[in-house]
Amino acid sequence: MCRILAKVSLRNESLIGELIEAEHSLMKQAQNGCVPEGALSGHIDGCGLAYVAGEQIKLIRRGRTDVWDETFVAAVRQVRCQLAIAHNRKASPQLKSDNLRSEHAHPFTSSFGATQIAFCHNGTIGALTDRANRANVTDSQIFLEALLKDLPRLDAGDLAQRVNDLARQYAETSEKYTSLTALLLSPSHLFGWRLYRPDSPPDWYDRYYTLWLERSEDRIVVASEPVDQLDREPTGAGNGWELLANGKFFAISFDRGHLDVQIRDMPLEIEESLRD
């Protein structure tokens, strides 16, 4: 349960606005961002930033004891990049209480062959919680491992299909999941998807597991909540932000001086499996 943000730009840019200074920046969302119905306020169980520098992904993370501390803010102020993802953590209550150190903060890094990647997730995967607690990791870390295992190619089609397969697998367990909404970063691409379980009784899923896009010719910002104002209703577009529908997958890359954006439906089997 978290707040996530990504930025893709044709030029190296600062992240100060979106992460620190905007009216509803990610730092401010750590305190006043939307929370699940009935939950305590705050996403203060960890924070992190992954960004592309040259051909490498650099990672800055903090745990609950030093979330958004002065050193993290200072480090964020120094970053200029074209590709980045960032995360505020609200730890799933089913996970062990000692699972709040910086190594458990998102984003996580891994590799696909020779390609370095970073990943962050918003949701609780109950189907993985027991396994995560036994291994002293998070359900999100296991989710990332499953995403990459035997993945044919790191592209939109194969990733969307893998998320579909895992959604079906997790939905068939008694514990299921709340949301698989996530961002995945490589040195050349940003992938992301919004996917929460529409068959579940709680009616707050559609208000909490959101992804908004703000697009211009030279940059795209993706965020759980628009960073330029508070209290945005998750019912449609406005002020340059568009709400990604549940079950949508996107891929953003660079194409001859332009940003190439592909938005597609996730495979239909996801919704069919959730109705079973």
**Region 179-188 average pLDDT:** 98
pLDDT tens-place string over residues 224-248: 999 997 555 554 445 689 999 999 9
pLDDT tens-place string over residues 53-101: 998 999 999 999 999 999 999 999 999 999 999 999 998 877 766 667 8
Residue 256, judged by CB atoms within 10 A of its CB (0-12, 13-18, 19+), counts as: exposed
- The predicted structure's pLDDT at residue 203: 79
130's CB contacts (< 8 A; 6+ apart) are: none
141's CB contacts (< 8 A; 6+ apart) are: 104, 108, 132
- The predicted structure's pLDDT at residue 201: 67
- The predicted structure's pLDDT at residue 275: 44
pLDDT exceeds 90 at position 276: no
CA 207 – CA 159 distance, rounded (Å): 25
What's the CATH fold of domain 2-275? Glutamine Phosphoribosylpyrophosphate, subunit 1, domain 1 (3.60.20)
- The predicted structure's pLDDT at residue 37: 83
pLDDT tens-place string over residues 142-172: 999 999 999 999 999 999 999 999 999 999 9
- The predicted structure's pLDDT at residue 233: 57
pLDDT exceeds 80 at position 121: yes
Q: 124-138, 178-192, 210-224, 234-248 — which is least confidently predicted?
A: 234-248
- The predicted structure's pLDDT at residue 93: 75
In this predicted model, which residue has the larger pLDDT, 184 or 276? 184
